[in-house]
Chains A and B, each alone.
Chain A
Amino acid sequence: MKRYELIVIGAGPAGLSAAIEAAKSGMEVIVFDENSRPGGQLFKQIHKFFGSKEHRAKVRGFKIGEELLEEAKKVKVKVVLSATVMGIFREKEITVMIDGEVNHFKADKIIVATGASENMVTFKGWTLPGVIGAGAAQTMMNLHGLRPGKKVLMLGSGNVGLVVSYQLKQAGCDVVAIIDAAPKIGGYGVHAAKVARLGVPFYLSNTIIEAQGEDCVNGVVIGEVDNKWNIIPGTEKHFDVDTICLAVGLSPMSQLLKAAGCDMEDSPKKGGLVPICDEYGETSIEGIFAAGDVSSIEEASSAMIEGRMAGAAAAKCAGYVEENSFIKRYHELEEALGQLRQGMFGPRSKGKDLKYTDEGIELSTSLLKNGYIDESEITNFPGVTINAKGIHPVIECTQNIPCNPCQDACINHCIKIGCNITSLPIVDENVKCTGCGMCVASCSGQAIFLVNETYEQGYATVTIPYEFLPLPKAGDMGIGLDRSGAEVCEVQVLEVRSAKPMDHTNLLTMKVPVDMAMKARFIKMKGAS
């Protein structure tokens, strides 16, 4: 039986990070993963991540995955794929199924980073082909280049439902609606606004009554629910769809830890049954650690830091790292993790009905109901300036989310967030905007626009982030869409800028009637659906 100093189970963001951290300090590390590719779900994440520089903010998930693999290779982490860990037994012995054979390994330390699985909900017809998990949609389109369907209904308005809806649109699918049984949108407002301005409608307090079809889905009926979650008769709506995507949360895959005998808790805040861990991620069994979604459902960015913590702690326990340098490293990681957990979507705010931002600004209620901010509320926020002379950024960032790449994007430092990473960005009107647009491309929430109300007599320009194909060209005519996706005016494309640092977020500048400067936020090209 081969023995390793550290066995990591799961080669996703948490597992790879844990393995790298431990291997860096000299530990001999092996990682087992049941999938044929490493990276967990990172390679399906094609959107830019939130956070600050140290959290790899504004880098797309799959790029972070590539960087992790590169780093793992450099520090000689051994990753064994298509290897299913079946059990963790006494004295840290594990059994692994590889090529139809059961192999035994023994470890001094084990880090379990098995991630999470998607939840599902049942309704009439839910077993029909065409009802899929949102993760399945991501896998098909972002890994295999296949549209999961032509017309899709998304159930769930959390970040997964919102992000996958946007990705479906990028893949050229039609998203007929995003629905949620809850009365308000669950995910980031900026993610919702991104799909709302494409014209995707939100139906909140709605659920699926029935998926229709004999051999596969050809329609769906939704209905409004009352405050006891019962369908209100007469509110039914029908959509022609071939695909229904379920994005109704994730559950930790903690079975291995439970079977190993770790003390567990059923925690709704953490997403289900999770191991009870200390601050370093060590479970009740000495030398067995947990990191990432298996111990609490959070973002991939947090999972990577938790992985680093567990890796560092395992290395310390094994004698590879001195107490003092471990404490120093742990505090660095703790601070980075603490930042990510701040704000109105952090664990401390979960379930709270917040009314104001940390700055004391009233939160937009229209945003949480419709998916976009009502124009009357938009000027309440410090990043939104109107009628400035010449070109200037309009930052429609209205919620306290841990994210700050915009403040480093401006070479003249006209955007300020300050040391509190969740603060809303402020535009300094005394600093001249050069119109470079780096802030537009740096915003993972695509909430920054450049507006010039004094472009020419009667006309303004609006520069928007644009991540769709085909890319329009200067001179093309289109239709301006407002934040709700409604058509508001004719627009002309003046310029489309693409540059490597913008990483596929193109900057499209359109000429709009001057009274549309604060309305037009997207463009529909003539002839496009």
Chain B
Amino acid sequence: MNGVIDMRIEEHPILEKIEKGKLVSFELDGKVMSGYEDEPIAVALRAAGVMAHRHTSKYDKPRGIFCAIGRCTDCVMVVDGKPNVRTCVTPLKEGMKVQTQYGVSAKK
């Protein structure tokens, strides 16, 4: 996947190697993707080039990461069936089922 190579920082001039967990797979809307265990779900998605996490209920507008520290709730998604999960502060686990949220639920 192109996005994975482009967005990850392999070596950093100050931080050197950034420690990562093991590579795990998860699902986004039924599609299998990969990311590193315990990194925020949002980080794995961004690395894979996914920008829209949810669509607003009234105008169906896309929303994605905004604050990345769990305050703004713009990045919430349906995770393992539970809606409104803040993906920027929720650690990624093997086999997680992540769904784009429409309003307050996944697409039926």
- The interface residues of chain B, by DSSP majority, are classed as loop
Q: Check A136/B68 contact, CB under 8 A, given A467-B13, A469-B11.
A: yes
Residue B69 is within 8 A (CB to CB) of chain A in the complex: yes
Contact A216 B51 (CB under 8 A): yes
Chain B CB within 10 A, most for which of A34, A35, A129, A471: A129
Residue B47 is within 8 A (CB to CB) of chain A in the complex: yes
A144 cross-chain contacts in B, Cβ below 8 A: 18, 39-40, 43
Chain A, range 401-441, C-beta contacts under 8 Å to B: none
Chain B, range 69-87, C-beta contacts under 8 Å to A: 69-71, 74
Residue A91 is within 8 A (CB to CB) of chain B in the complex: no
Contact B14 A147 (CB under 8 A): no
Which A-B residue pairs are the 8 nearest by beta carbons? A129-B64, A145-B18, A136-B68, A216-B51, A129-B51, A139-B68, A144-B43, A145-B9
Number of A interface residues at 8 Å Cβ cutoff, please give it. 37
User: Nearest residue in B to A34 (C-beta to C-beta)?
Assistant: B70
Residue B20 is within 8 A (CB to CB) of chain A in the complex: yes
0/1 per residue, A98-119, Cβ < 8 Å to B?
Answer: 0000000000000000000110
Contact B64 A139 (CB under 8 A): no
Q: Check A136/B66 contact, CB under 8 A, given A144-B39, A469-B12, A504-B13.
A: yes
Q: How many A-B pairs fall under 8 Å by CB?
A: 97
B69 cross-chain contacts in A, Cβ below 8 A: 35, 135-136, 139
Residue A133 is within 8 A (CB to CB) of chain B in the complex: yes
A135 cross-chain contacts in B, Cβ below 8 A: 67-69
User: Nearest residue in B to A46 (C-beta to C-beta)?
Assistant: B14
Candidates A117, A146, A171, A469; contact of B43 at CB < 8 Å = A146
Contact A140 B66 (CB under 8 A): no
Residue A468 is within 8 A (CB to CB) of chain B in the complex: yes
User: Nearest residue in A to B89 (C-beta to C-beta)?
Assistant: A36
Contact B9 A133 (CB under 8 A): no
Residue A25 is within 8 A (CB to CB) of chain B in the complex: no
Residue A130 is within 8 A (CB to CB) of chain B in the complex: yes
CB distance from A378 to the nearest CB of B (A): 27
List 6 additional A-B contacts (Cβ < 8 Å) besides A139-B69, A145-B15: A62-B15, A133-B66, A136-B65, A172-B9, A467-B13, A467-B14
Candidates B61, B63, B67; contact of A136 at CB < 8 Å = B67
B66 cross-chain contacts in A, Cβ below 8 A: 131-133, 136
Residue B28 is within 8 A (CB to CB) of chain A in the complex: no
A172 cross-chain contacts in B, Cβ below 8 A: 9
Contact A171 B12 (CB under 8 A): yes
Complex alpha-carbon distance, A251 and B46, angstroms: 27
Residue A322 is within 8 A (CB to CB) of chain B in the complex: no
Residue B103 is within 8 A (CB to CB) of chain A in the complex: no
Residue A521 is within 8 A (CB to CB) of chain B in the complex: no
User: Nearest residue in B to A169 (C-beta to C-beta)?
Assistant: B13
Contact B40 A147 (CB under 8 A): no
Complex alpha-carbon distance, A133 and B6, angstroms: 21
Contact A504 B14 (CB under 8 A): yes
Complex alpha-carbon distance, A62 and B16, angstroms: 13
Contact A129 B62 (CB under 8 A): yes
Complex alpha-carbon distance, A471 and B13, angstroms: 9
Number of B interface residues at 8 Å Cβ cutoff, please give it. 34
Contact B12 A145 (CB under 8 A): yes
Candidates A131, A171, A504; contact of B9 at CB < 8 Å = A171
5 contacts between A and B (CB under 8 A): A129-B51, A136-B67, A136-B69, A144-B40, A471-B13
User: Nearest residue in A to B16 (C-beta to C-beta)?
Assistant: A504
A170 cross-chain contacts in B, Cβ below 8 A: 12-14
Residue B52 is within 8 A (CB to CB) of chain A in the complex: yes
Contact A129 B43 (CB under 8 A): no
Complex alpha-carbon distance, A145 and B40, angstroms: 11
CB distance from A97 to the nearest CB of B (A): 13
Residue A219 is within 8 A (CB to CB) of chain B in the complex: no
Complex alpha-carbon distance, A166 and B8, angstroms: 18
Q: Check A117/B7 contact, CB under 8 A, given A128-B62, A133-B66, A142-B15.
A: no
B47 cross-chain contacts in A, Cβ below 8 A: 146
Residue A267 is within 8 A (CB to CB) of chain B in the complex: no
B64 cross-chain contacts in A, Cβ below 8 A: 128-130, 216
Residue A215 is within 8 A (CB to CB) of chain B in the complex: yes
User: Nearest residue in B to A84 (C-beta to C-beta)?
Assistant: B70
CB distance from A133 to the nearest CB of B (A): 5
User: Nearest residue in B to A170 (C-beta to C-beta)?
Assistant: B13
Contact B14 A140 (CB under 8 A): no
Contact A118 B62 (CB under 8 A): no
Residue A150 is within 8 A (CB to CB) of chain B in the complex: yes
Chain B, range 26-72, C-beta contacts under 8 Å to A: 39-40, 43, 46-47, 51-53, 61-71
Complex alpha-carbon distance, A142 and B43, angstroms: 12
0/1 per residue, A460-471, Cβ < 8 Å to B?
Answer: 000000011101
Contact B8 A146 (CB under 8 A): yes
A150 cross-chain contacts in B, Cβ below 8 A: 6
Residue A197 is within 8 A (CB to CB) of chain B in the complex: no
